[in-house]
Structure 1
Amino acid sequence: MRKTLAGISSVILCVTILGILPDVAFAATPFRIISRSEWGADESFLYTKEAAPLEKQTDPQEKTSEPDTISQRQQDCIENRKLYPEEFVPARTVRKKRDETYRWALEYSKEVKLLVVHHTAIQVTGDDRDSEERMRALYEMHANGRGWGDIGYHYVVADDGSIFEGKAGGDYVTGGHVYCGNIGTVGIALMGNFDVEKPTQAQMRSLQWLLITLSKRYHIDPDDKTRFHGKEVPTILGHKNLLSTDCPGYYVAETLNQVRINVARNDYSMPIRFPVVARAKSAGILAQRQKERLGLATNEPVSGISAVGTTTIEGRPGDTAIFLVEYRSGNTEVGRRTRIAEVSRSSNRIGLSQELAGRDMLVRTDLLLPESLPPQSVQAIRLKVEYPIEPGTYTLTIGGVEYTLKVTGRRARNAEPFSDETLPLIEKSTLTQKTAGEIANRKSDFGSGLRRDESQIITIRIRLSTREAAATSCDVVDLKKLKTQYRGTLECTMIEGKPAIINTITLEDYLAGLAEEPDTEPYEKQRAFAIAARTYAAFYLDPLQRKFPGMPYDGDDSPTRFQWYKGIAFELKNPHWVKAVRATANSVLMLNDVLIKPPYFSSDDGRTRSPVEAGWKNFPNAEIFGSKPDPWCKGMPMAGHGVGMSGCGAEGQAGEGKTGEEILRYYYPGTEVREIGSTEIGK
């Protein structure tokens, strides 16, 4: 008998089994699925000595790695079985293998529609067991501890990147990872508790490879949605997208969209950028979750407000910022517009509003719950703070969570002092719908170089192409909704018969919302990339260097066409990146008083590539970008074109104490960091 599960809390399963896949098309990859026999599965767990009476067997559809289900969940399941009975019928059932009877009869799905990602909710940090030993312990807990006769997950991915075969039975066999949702789904569990620790990059690369493999096997479009039990959901999703649960944990749930994009691109090597979270979540909440997973008695569930992201917010006098808090209910339902938290300020010049029914409403002394909340559930609440007009450090307390407001720098344009009497509701964006001709007529203000507004602030126009997917005309584009997600002005016009959403914004505010280097990266690396990204964007503001000639915009929010621009949402989750942008304001790379076009990429195998090696002919200032040693990246896969500054190299140098400017000098030799404010494009 293998070791028991000492020290392991119960796991949140979310996988449907798939068996070992042939390494077709992936033979050259470093990945493979470790079979049950290889990791040491005790197959005697699968069988019972005596055939169990059918009426006493557990319904496989109700197997789940979660704690005991709640009555509402049971009621929802009964309702779904009535409404969608065909989705609960297995293609076939196998109860015996030769003369042995399975403890858990093998049921098979007609088709697989969903790939569900979970975490085991068992922290691996500080666990000195190897991954195979942990896998055996997990198997024993499910098979014997829970009495299932097998593990519920189809696949388990360890922190070292190992991929283990889970439930026995092969392709299309149903697992036990989603309550009332096992037929038609495959579950993949990552070892770890990702509410309190981050997955490793090796783990995420293996996950991405496995998802690519399973998508091909089951003919699933990873970038699509499908209907499951009457709801439209992504084909690759987290456990929490199907049920009220924390699985697959914060760090995986917040990055699943990155995973989907990489899987859709067939790129398993792309690293994942994890958010940085202030440790404001109550230790009591985490302790409560742990008790629930261990099956221990719990008291009234911890309820109240917790922070999402950092509790230190920085901005200019008179400016505004959007941030989120979470409210967790207890054992009872909380009604719509219930007062859920007291609000206090260190100054009555701090403005605060919350979004209710699509409108920003002033918050005086109490925070309200926007929508009704079931028991033991969480709701995110969007807030907007208006900084005082005077620089300084202030505090804002919301239900026991204290935020520090650091107000520095120049006063925001058109800022008016906040007062309780006037109750101003400041809008982020002004919205207009214009013709292409009206917008194009403004291109003449390129004139002698950089486009500036009346205050001589450089502006850029970005097409939000990722927001246009389903739109057929400007009439169906919801600019009012988008205004809360982007600074500057928003407008819609028809270009080549299709709607184009254009965001006109200052170059510095654009950089703050640019998803180049999240707060998981070292600060000096962020500074280096802020300067390089600003230089790249400014290069294309030159009327002679247009990225999109003849178009009424300068760039695109797609990383494949220009730069990955995500707006306010990225700012909120990455305050250190915003700080790096502000600290390097107007700084660009120049060679002989002329802006360069600075390429950069993710990782290489120990050396950068020249433009010629990348297939770039007549690349400007090619002499800067000759191949050079990049020892900080040695042993890593090539991810990107390889020309210019590497992300892994910049991170390595920052770890050695190099400044952002020193990093830039290494990758762009001969250039200088200069102020763009005194320089004209096209010089």
Structure 2
Amino acid sequence: MKFFKKAALLTIFLVASWLLSIGFQAVAPQEIDATKVSTIINPNPITIGGRSIASITPLFKPFKDMEIFVSEKENPGFKFTSVGGSWIEFSHDLQVEAEIRFETEGKWTSWIELEEEEDTLTPPNEGRRKYATAATNPAESFQYKFILHGDKVSSPIVKDIEWTFIRTVSFEKQENQKIGALADSAEIEKYAAYSMPSSKVVSRAEWGANESYRYVSDNSLDVELEYDEDFHAKYAEELQYSKIVEADENGDKYKWPLQYPEKVEKFIIHHTATTKNLDDPKQAIRDIYYYHAVKRGWGDIGYNYIVDQDGIVYEGRYGGEGVIGGHSGPGNHGSIGIAILGNFEEAPVPEKLFLPIGQFIYKKAQIHDINPLGTSMFRGKDMDNIFGHRDIMPTTCPGQYLYEKLPVIRALAAQDFTKKQKFVQDYDLQNSSEIYFIELNPEETREIIIKMENIGTKDWGTGTVLKFQQFDDFDGTVSFIGSENDTIAKMQEAVVKSGNTATFKFKIQSNKKSLNSSLNLSLLIDGKIKLKDALIIPLIVAQPIYKFDIVETKYPPKIMKIGEKFEGYVKLKNTGNVTWKKSGAWKIELREDQNSEFLAKKTKILATLTESNVKPEGIATFKLELKAPSKGGYYNEVFKPVIKDAVFISQNLSFETIVYEKDYDGALVAKTLVSEWEKGKIYTVSVKLRNVGSKPWNKKDLSVAFLKEKDLKINDLTLSPSEVKTGEVGEINFNAVVDADEDVGEKNMFLRPRLKDKAFLPLPVSITYTVVEEKLKEATESPDIRVKLSFPEDTQIPEITANGAFEIYSGSSLVTTLNAGSTAKVEVKDGKYQVKAEEIIFLKNEPIRFIPKSNSILQIKNFEHRPAWNLDLNDNEYRGILEVREVDGSLVVINELELESYLKGLGEVSNSELPEKIKAIAIAARTYAKYYIDVDEKFPGKPYNLDDDPNTSQKYLGYGFEKRSPNVSAAVDATYGKIVIYEGTLVKTPYFNQSDGTKTKSAKEVWNWDAPYLISVDDSYCDGTEFLGHGVGMSGCGTKGMAEQGFTYEEILKHYYTGIEISKSY
């Protein structure tokens, strides 16, 4: 017989992106002793991009970073209370996340992170078999989600997916229950005798265990348990058995023999995946038992004990005290595994659980002579005697909220809270405070009341005080108000007679520094008699968290007259754990990065707190007292709460306002910056103007006066859109025809737009260009790029319109032409594209293309693509062509447009950044995009070059971003066609958010790329303290610092990309 149970590796994972349905084969439901079971099987492997290989040569046809698969809704035909799943992963050190959710009474639960176990005995080249269970209140349906993370050159594979629906019944409802006694019961009784009284632990019989699951079906079969030979050899001295029982007293063999270690040394804490507010913990335990014992073939449940959310403890693995369970792989032997029902990665631990868990462990620790506060060597490491599953295996179990409270459990497990015998000793006490731990938020002051019953025979008189032990880690973290030396409180009563209770009050104040320690209290009676019993109270000060939710805002109107005053407010909910204060060194303010134009006094501080302080979960009010600037124009005020140097984990706040002086007024936003015009060529000139007057502009009222070279011809003058409302950006386009005999040299052209024959700009718009001889060259114009948009392809039918006329094509064939404001819908039916336009339905075989006329802007009407910082905006407008086509069974929308226009719609850099930083980012983004147009495929075999997801490509937002980011557009124009090359070759130019302020990382270090231009370089211009992003290439934080110091974009690029040159590609 082999004696080591299969190792179980437990991992928990998180969340989301796009959905793909997966088909299953259903296995007919079975009824086992009235227990209902049904299994569904998905035989199809899933990978990123649907590919069947797991790795490819680096830098060749790379994968995208992530893909998410969500199953169809599955219904087993009966109400079930748990599911158990298994699948095989070929992960290649990449991450695979798994989540599930249940439908109960027509409503879906939230997604639940799974606690996974791994069969580590399978050779890695055969993949790893993963297992997981989750419990729920009775549910009728189920879905699951896999999130696959790639590294652009490799993808994990998930295959052979099975899910089993389970609803067990209690053994009281079963017949022929097989219950055997332990063989050699006298020998085993010494273990069982140590068990907690039945009133303290719910027995297997009480929670309804079907004991027949523990037995083999045929006693003639040999029982073998697999084990890892290398592991067993390495820790042979620790893995010795004091007893192995293979059968009961009747000779019936156990599937899983009862194994006992020579010594129990550790307690290992777990959590389980369950829905919130689980109604029937016994049901959940029976289901876990069934899955472990029957479905996985173990013959029993893996945990030694289970605790429900009321603190009730349930017997787990059969066999009495010390029996080895199957809960933590290498930690099974010599440990007691305690699982708490609940998911504590997402939800806090109910306070009522701590004392029963602590006291349960206290009694077990007494049996096995374990110091709950101590440590000892275990599997080659010095480990706490009470530790979490994650301490011995790569997993998040028992969840962050529970893991943080392990010091509380250790402290409670070190104390005896059982009632002592009274009136035996002269001086004795019983703690009657019911304070088991103290947890403070940063900067919190709390009064603590300690009550102690005098259970001695003598009175406690004046001078009785409560002492505390001062630890070094208290310095700078907590203080005790009114304490004197080591005296924390005086007894409130003058005398406390035998049988009465003494009261001690003190205040404790936390700082902004976190703490995980304990408060050790002792009683000094009459100022001279110190009792030996100490009261140990875990003391925790939480890490400061600065967060807020927007409750309500009253911002200035969209249109204001110069000098107009406005009073408004911003109301924010304090969702962190630090009290906000109106005054003092740590006061909170709403602040901009630069002096606000809306304040009479030039300052960055937009508003201060109205309330004197706002505690966590409270509502803060900031009054806005603003005055419109004296200069008309478009203003976008961006601000955020600031508390000294604290970082808020929330979005910025902002408002947009047009300040006007007169009815018709405009501001230059951007203009064409093509510097060289060849003889005989036609150039399209674009001038973008924002309407900052009080009245709209109409195309019929527009004219333009030109001051230009005599032979330069102007034609095709247009305004887009045909009406430009206050605050909107209009674009004046015209064609300039250079005469073939024009003299070479620098020229100037001035244009003055007019509305109703009146000029509305303060100065004419100047266009400077240089006439040159006609050149013969390749690629003179910006190439086109095709971008897959994140329109929800599986849930919606795209509805496309435009602000001007547009044509609809199927392939190269014209379908119809629509006017501004008309809408067309596209879907796939019976293998054909169905286009519905103005109540006419067209059925077509080729993909559908929407092509604008006269610079119209297309819009996906039903695409909700709003930035979190301003939900009034919706980035659903696009230049160029929109193509709707079926890809891998889903309808996707692709934006095809010029690369330069694409760059103007990229949200990779803020409009408020310094020009040289924006230019550097523009060149890096252009290079990155052109690399995937000319050199490589980002999405192999797909009909697009990039997508709009910043996690996989670049953050493309489209025309909406272009309209509100004139500085970005100007930087794109100023660097027109410029790219990064290395040794004459176009290269890929990664960039990231920030470094830790020391150095960037090399591509070799992060991705194992041999890229000499992507080596580690100094990044001291970045004031960051930690890496945000992959760390390779250009640092956004460092780029800002270099721009502030006066470096040019070319100097910035050559600093971060070693040995490169800047080249004009068109």
TM bin, normalised by shorter chain, reads: 0.3 to 0.5
More strand by share: 2
TM-score, scaled to structure 2: 0.32
More helix by share: 1
TM-score, scaled to structure 1: 0.47
